Amino acid sequence: MLTENRYTAQIAEIIRRDPSLTSRLLRLVNSVYYGLSTPVNSIEEAVFYLGVRQIRQLVTVTPVIEDFQRLTRQCAFPWREFWQHCIGTAILTHEITGAVQAPPDDSDYIAGLVHDVGKIVMASTFPDHFTEIHRQAIQGFRDLTEIENEVLGIDHAELGALYLERHRLSELLVQTARFHHQPEKARSHGHLIASVQIADLLLRSEKMGISGNYLEVTREQCFSASGWKVLFPNTHEAEQAIARASLSHTLELMPQMLEGLV
């Protein structure tokens, strides 16, 4: 126990040297564990709640988040709302995987967070194409990936996967980016990717945050998404209904959480 405490103290000390990592870590712990009655304010506590594995993931994902922040000024795009979409997806993904079988290390949160990283990559690498895609997407007539494929020849899912691969991030993150619109096609991590798909659709249908895909999503479409079959291949409606009911509580809290986070 003593060694463990010393270990936590050392990690906390290293994290404290990086103010942006510190604030991100505190936000993360307070959003993942938003059920805590008192918010977590110290790094030691955050390390305690998140665990070393999750922190390691956060550190690997830091360059991606930094890209987010740097790029918000380059293209005309509702970046703040987009960031809310990403965090909201992370929170809901965590909730959905919890209804089935949550991974022990909260990697679901990070996967939800970076699922749409391809959009940032697109904005930084092909700003003119990105602007044109957004101009067409905002009309709300067509699906975003269809426009992306037409204008650029690649969509944000594939571009994000390539980017994460190049940064040697985990297979889980790569697969999530690549298949988050078609979880049934993923050969591994199907449950998690299915959860991301559902989280993404729910946020879009509730109009919380802005994903950049302006095509309207109905509640019915959310509940007939292919991800449900991946999550519950052999079960009846009842089990799905329970999972859905538990999500509605989180959805109620969501606007307030997202306002505070971004």
Joined together, the tokens standing for residue 255 give: 């606007």
Burial-class residue 215 by CB neighbours within 10 Å (0-12, 13-18, 19+): middle
Candidates 63-71, 112-120, 182-190, 238-246: pick the segment binding Fe ion (CB under 5 A).
Answer: 112-120
Which CB atom, from 50 or from 77, has the smaller least distance to Fe ion? 77
* Distance set, CA 138 to CA 18, 76, 214 (Å): 37, 12, 6
- Shortest CB 98 distance to Fe ion, Å: 20
> With binding defined as CB under 5 A, does residue 155 bind Fe ion?
no
CB of 5 to Fe ion, least distance (A): 39
What's the CA angle centered on 151, arms 148 and 157, to 5 degrees?
20
Quick check: 212 and 134 in contact, CB under 8 A?
A: yes
Residue nearest to Fe ion according to CB distances in the complex: 200
From the list 23-31, 110-118, 130-138, 237-245, the region that binds Fe ion by CB under 5 A is: 110-118
Choosing from 155, 200, 225, 228, the residue that interacts with Fe ion (CB under 5 A) is 200
Compute the distance between CA of residue 44 and CA of residue 15 in angstroms, rounded to an integer: 10
For residues 202 and 104, what is the distance between their CA atoms, to the nearest angstrom? 24
Shortest Å, Cβ 240 to Fe ion? 21
Q: How many residues contact Fe ion, by CB under 5 A?
A: 3
Contacts of Fe ion in 210-229 (CB under 5 A) = 211
Residue 116 near Fe ion by CB under 5 A: yes
Of 46 and 251, CB closest to Fe ion: 251
Comparing CB distances to Fe ion, the nearer of 57 and 213 is 213
Distance (Å, whole) CA 205 – CA 191 = 21
Please report whether residue 93 would count as binding Fe ion according to CB under 5 A. no
AA identity, residue 203: L
Label residue 42 exposed, middle or buried (CB < 10 Å: 0-12, 13-18, 19+). exposed
Residues at the contact surface with Fe ion, assessed by CB under 5 A: 116, 200, 211
